[in-house]
Structure 1
Amino acid sequence: MVKIVFYEDRNFQGRHYECSSECADLSPYFSRCNSIRVESDWWVMYERPNYMGYQYVLSKGEYPDYQRWMGFNDNIKSCRTYSYVSGASYKIKIHERPNFGGQMMEFMDDCPSIYDRFHHHDIHSCHVMDGYWTFYEHPNYRGRQYFLKPGEYRRYSDWGAIVAAVGSFRRIVEI
């Protein structure tokens, strides 16, 4: 069974809430979130209700405080779950301009530094052909996170970003 447990206090203390499916508004269940146990699958946490605000992509494991999931604060107000598909393939095309314009590069594996491979700091659009991916604001998988599933993202705001800065990205693979 898919499950995640949210705790109001650090180190899995205080009031808690168990969740087994996506939830657009977690506000009725807890006021803050300082630790999380992910018991199965991949989860995307959102800072605000209705899948808005900062995103955090978490795999199975224990996160005793919000810094462990690279959180900026203790606000988690909505969540979604995604199951890993065995034998999944991965393919993404990134573009330097909106609407798939400018230079394009295709990737099938993780990229710890977009600048080193693409020679650009900004990604304005992308097409996720296969698999689930996480974009990170900075190189080496640091900073704000953005979850991308298969589809077309004509501008960076389509994946929830405020600016086009993408420093690295990686595939979401089996745990």
Structure 2
Amino acid sequence: MNGKIVFFEERNFQGRSYECVSDCSEISSHLSRCSSCKVESGTFMVYDQPNFTGQQHLLTKGEYPEYQNTLGFNDCIQSCRIVPAHKGPYRMRIYERPNFEGQAHELTHDCDSIQDHYHMSDTQSCNVVDGHWLMFEQPNYEGRMLYLRPGEYRNLREMSGDDMRFNSIRRITES
């Protein structure tokens, strides 16, 4: 089994529940609201908007009785995506400007400060070759985040929806 998450309508695992073992673009089609969850196995990216948009947070095995306090979400979880376990190397190429232009660097490990380590003023596009990664708004893996699967990302600012800048990058190594 890759992963399993159980969503509950009310805080503290109360009310109706919905069990999920794959991506779900609209939890509201299963529950009237989602205010707590338990990750029984695997790793999930959860979003505060439908269709994998809005603020996001990585959840690993454990219990999450209240999102507002635990994750900082203003509302409830609206969609989720399973993060497949990755065995093997991690590799991504980051670029200073959109469309893979400007200064470029290849990463195979976490980077706590893009500015300090690569002297790049910004990271606006990337190519994820191997593994699953999180890009963070602030150094030291803090602030809002963006989940990246293998593929090309020509304009990270458009993806974040609000011209978010990225200052640190971490591999998702939880399984």
Q: TM-score, normalised by structure 2?
A: 0.86
Assess if the C-alpha contact under 8 Å between 2:35 and 2:77 holds in 1.
Answer: no
Task: Give the whole-Å Cα distance in 2 for the aligned partners of 1:65 and 1:13.
Answer: 11
Aligned residue for 1:47? Answer: 48
Displacement after TM superposition at 1:52 (Å): 2.0
2:23 matched to which residue of 1?
A: 22
CA contact (8 A) 1:56 1:71 kept: no
2:116 corresponding residue in structure 1: 116
After superposing on structure 2, the runs of 4+ consecutive aligned residues of structure 1 that deviate more than 4 Å are: none
Q: Tell which deviates more after alignment, 58-67 or 106-115.
A: 58-67
| Contact residue 122 and residue 164 of structure 1 kept, 8 A | no
Which residue pairs with 2:61 in the alignment?
Answer: 60
Secondary structure at the aligned position of 1:129 is classed as: strand
Pick closer, same or farther for the CA change 1:121–1:45 going to 2, 3 Å: farther
- Of residues 156-165 and 136-145 in structure 1, the stretch that sits farther from structure 2 once superposed is 156-165
Describe the SS at the equivalent of 1:30.
coil
Structure 2 residues not aligned, in runs of 5+: none
Report the aligned-residue RMSD: 2.1
Residues 8 and 99 (structure 1 numbering): CA distance in 2 closer, same or farther, change over 3 Å?
same
Output the CA distance in 1 between the equivalents of 2:120 and 2:59: 27
Q: Counterpart of 2:36?
A: 35
Structure 1 portions without partners, runs of 5+? none
Question: Does the 8 Å CA contact 1:124/1:164 hold for their aligned counterparts?
Answer: no
Aligned counterparts of 1:27 and 1:138: Cα–Cα separation in 2: 31
Between 99-108 and 8-17, the greater mean CA deviation after superposition: 8-17
Q: Give the Cα separation in 2 of the matches to 1:170 and 1:69.
A: 20
Whether the 8 Å contact between 1:36 and 1:63 is mirrored in structure 2 is: yes
Identical amino acids, percent of aligned pairs: 49
Q: Tell me the TM-score normalised to structure 1 length.
A: 0.86
Q: Which one has the bigger helix percentage?
A: 2
Aligned length: 174
